[in-house]
């Protein structure tokens, strides 16, 4: 399948990265650290995309330790596992941040770098949700699903914002900066406390807040992990509103209608109407096979985000269609028949049932997602590399200052 037509490839020449980072932590702490120390650890011969991929490998190692020690997301791991998650995530953030600096100092900046960087981030988003769920002992249930929803929505909205404003905007508090640092701190503290069961305690009682008369029992007994989800939901709402305002302002400045841009949020919410519906109708998947389903949901979002970034780079119309949603829509339809029959007396029989065939179908959806997203990534990367005469993970044309000066003369 062809994802980028040849006639659209010349638009890559118009690409110019534009980013705004309002984070004070990034400006005064992280960027000086990256510029004065980290970037010097990488040789000039190392391709920026290889740095990105190397950083992602730390997250993969974290995921493997998760699957070995806590595949059900509700067991305590050895303390060193949580510390390793903190170190791995911090290294991922660091490598992900310096790949741009490496691209600039090696003169390898280009559209492929942005596509590769966003693609890796999109896959990491869902993987990190599983690791966070394990660090809080959320288990296979709705809390993990809610965490996944918030993380994927944040990334989708950020990419949608960049498509319409042509600028990657990070607020004073953002997921790629403060969000990751908070997770690093949470993982490290979990290791210090000896396990994720610590976060199951009442936050008010643990920190010594007395149970005053005006504090409801439900609120007083809320554990740490639920308070973290409340905080995350609050930040999610603020960032979504801010992105919508950015898009509306940019569209109006160009004389375009903002309503058309807001329609770009519909594909995400259509998907996330089907996901909770499917998990509600199939509790076996929710409580026993949520981890592979999260992989599937993450790839669905990564494919949507990848299409948006590609459309941004080659100036295509906004992509509203995601073929990976179709098998999920069928699964919901198939599961809805017996549910309606049981509750209102009118329905249709299920072809998959709710046991082994349903689980097999869910793994088929995951396999399809891996195949489609994998073909998309390979096709787009190969197409762009061929057109720009570059390589993806190595530097094909090293920068030579003397030769470039002669060409300029």
Give the C-alpha separation, 133 to 72, whole Å: 10
Residue closest to 168 by CA, chosen among 160, 152, 128, 90: 160
Contact 299, 246 (CB under 8 A): no
Instruction: Extract the tokens encoding 201.
Output: 């305690």
Residue closest to 197 by CA, chosen among 230, 223, 227, 220: 223
Which backbone phi and psi does 169 adopt, to 5 degrees? -110, 125
Q: Is 118 a catalytic residue?
A: yes
- Residue of 107, 118, 287, 312 with catalytic role: 118
The contacts found for 320-325 with CB under 8 angstroms, 24 or more apart, are 320/263, 320/264, 320/266, 320/267, 321/267, 322/267, 322/271, 323/372, 324/299, 324/300, 324/365, 324/368, 324/369, 324/372, 324/373, 325/267, 325/270, 325/271, 325/274, 325/300
Burial status of residue 279 (CB atoms within 10 A of its CB: 0-12, 13-18, 19 or more): buried
What are residue 21's DSSP bridge partners? 170
Contact 48, 106 (CB under 8 A): yes
Catalytic residue positions, numbered:
118
């Amino acid at each position: 399948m062809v994802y980028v037509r040849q006639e659209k490839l010349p638009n890559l020449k118009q690409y110019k990265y534009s980013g705004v980072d309002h984070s004070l932590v990034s400006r005064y702490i992280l960027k000086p650290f990256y510029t004065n120390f980290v970037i010097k650890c990488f040789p000039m011969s190392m391709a920026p995309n290889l740095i990105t991929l190397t950083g992602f490998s730390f997250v993969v190692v974290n995921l493997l330790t998760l699957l070995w020690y806590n595949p059900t997301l509700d067991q305590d791991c050895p303390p060193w596992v949580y510390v390793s998650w903190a170190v791995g995530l911090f290294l991922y953030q660091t490598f992900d941040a310096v790949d741009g600096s490496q691209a600039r100092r090696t003169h390898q900046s280009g559209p492929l770098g942005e596509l590769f960087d966003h693609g890796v981030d999109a896959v990491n988003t869902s993987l990190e949700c599983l690791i966070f769920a394990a660090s809080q002992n959320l288990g296979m249930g709705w809390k993990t699903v809610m965490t996944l929803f918030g993380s994927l929505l944040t990334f989708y909205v950020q990419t949608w914002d960049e498509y319409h404003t042509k600028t990657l905007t990070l607020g004073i508090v953002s997921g790629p900066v403060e969000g990751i640092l908070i997770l690093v701190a949470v993982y490290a503290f979990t290791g210090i406390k000896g396990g994720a069961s610590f976060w199951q305690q009442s936050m008010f009682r643990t920190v010594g807040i007395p149970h005053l008369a005006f504090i409801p029992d439900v609120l007083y007994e809320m554990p740490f992990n639920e308070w973290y989800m409340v905080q995350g939901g609050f930040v999610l709402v603020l960032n979504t509103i801010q992105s919508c305002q950015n898009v509306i302002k940019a569209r109006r400045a160009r004389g375009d209608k903002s309503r058309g841009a807001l329609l770009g949020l519909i594909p995400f919410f259509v998907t996330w109407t089907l996901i909770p519906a499917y998990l509600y109708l199939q509790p076996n998947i929710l409580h026993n096979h949520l981890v592979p389903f999260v992989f599937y949901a993450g790839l669905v979002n990564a494919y949507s985000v990848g299409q948006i970034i590609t459309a941004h780079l080659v100036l295509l119309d906004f992509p509203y269609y995601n073929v990976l949603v179709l098998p999920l829509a069928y699964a919901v339809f198939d599961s809805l028949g017996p549910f309606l029959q049981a509750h209102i007396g009118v329905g249709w029989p299920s072809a998959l049932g709710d046991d082994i065939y349903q689980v097999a179908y869910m793994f088929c959806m995951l396999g399809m997602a891996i195949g489609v997203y994998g073909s998309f990534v390979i096709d787009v990367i190969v197409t762009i590399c061929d057109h720009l005469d570059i390589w993806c993970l190595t530097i094909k044309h090293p920068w030579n200052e003397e030769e470039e000066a002669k060409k300029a003369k």
